[in-house]
Amino acid sequence: MPASPAAADPSAALAPLVVDLVVPCPPRRAFDYFTRDVGRWWPLATHSVGGATSRGVAFEPRAGGRLVETLADGRECVWGTVESWQPGERVRFTWHPGREAATAQWVEVAFAPNPAGTRVTLTHGGWEPLGADAAATRARYAGGWNVVLGERFAGHCAAPAR
């Protein structure tokens, strides 16, 4: 009997990661904090291509724009490309920091009204391009997104209004 597609390709069975939290601000502000302010809350020292040489990260605010890390020497490291830009509702982008675009996954962040502010749901999927490294990479991101979104982004949203 032939092997199933999932048995032949272990990444085929990998479900997207989902991180869900509520932040104490309205959806449009949460969207702006996630996108416009990404360089203020993203932990570049530990979660970037350049580490100590990283000077910032920013979205180009439109579909087709890039998510770009800038290093101290001015070089840019493209982390992904914006696929959908819907202020106050969602942003979706490819994701390949430090890797070739051919290995990209996708990340979608949705912003929905909630009595306590905004429900933010980050979904990270499309592990197949990583082949044999897919499961290990997904496992690392499971913890990473909890720190980046659950601690850093949530903390930025809870800080006094800017």
pLDDT (0 to 100) of residue 13: 78
Residue 133, domain member (yes or no): yes
Q: Please give the single-letter amino acid code of residue 96.
A: H
The CATH number linked to 39 is: 3.30.530.20
Tokens linked to 80: 């992904």
Residue 1, domain member (yes or no): no
Residue 79, domain member (yes or no): yes
Residue 73, domain member (yes or no): yes
Indicate the number of domains in the chain.
1
Residue 6, domain member (yes or no): no
Question: Per-residue pLDDT for the chain (162 aa), expressed as one digit of tens each?
Answer: 444 444 455 545 799 999 999 999 999 999 999 999 999 999 999 999 999 999 999 999 999 999 999 999 999 999 999 999 999 999 999 999 999 999 999 999 999 999 999 999 999 999 999 999 999 999 999 999 999 999 999 999 998 765
Which residues pair with residue 103 across a beta bridge?
Answer: none
pLDDT (0 to 100) of residue 1: 47
Residue 10, domain member (yes or no): no
Residue 135, domain member (yes or no): yes
Helices (H), the chain: 5-8, 27-35, 38-41, 134-145, 154-158
pLDDT (0 to 100) of residue 12: 55
- The range of the structural domain enclosing residue 134 comes to 17-158
Residue 138, domain member (yes or no): yes
Prediction pTM value = 0.91
Compute the distance between CA of residue 23 and CA of residue 126 in angstroms, rounded to an integer.
26
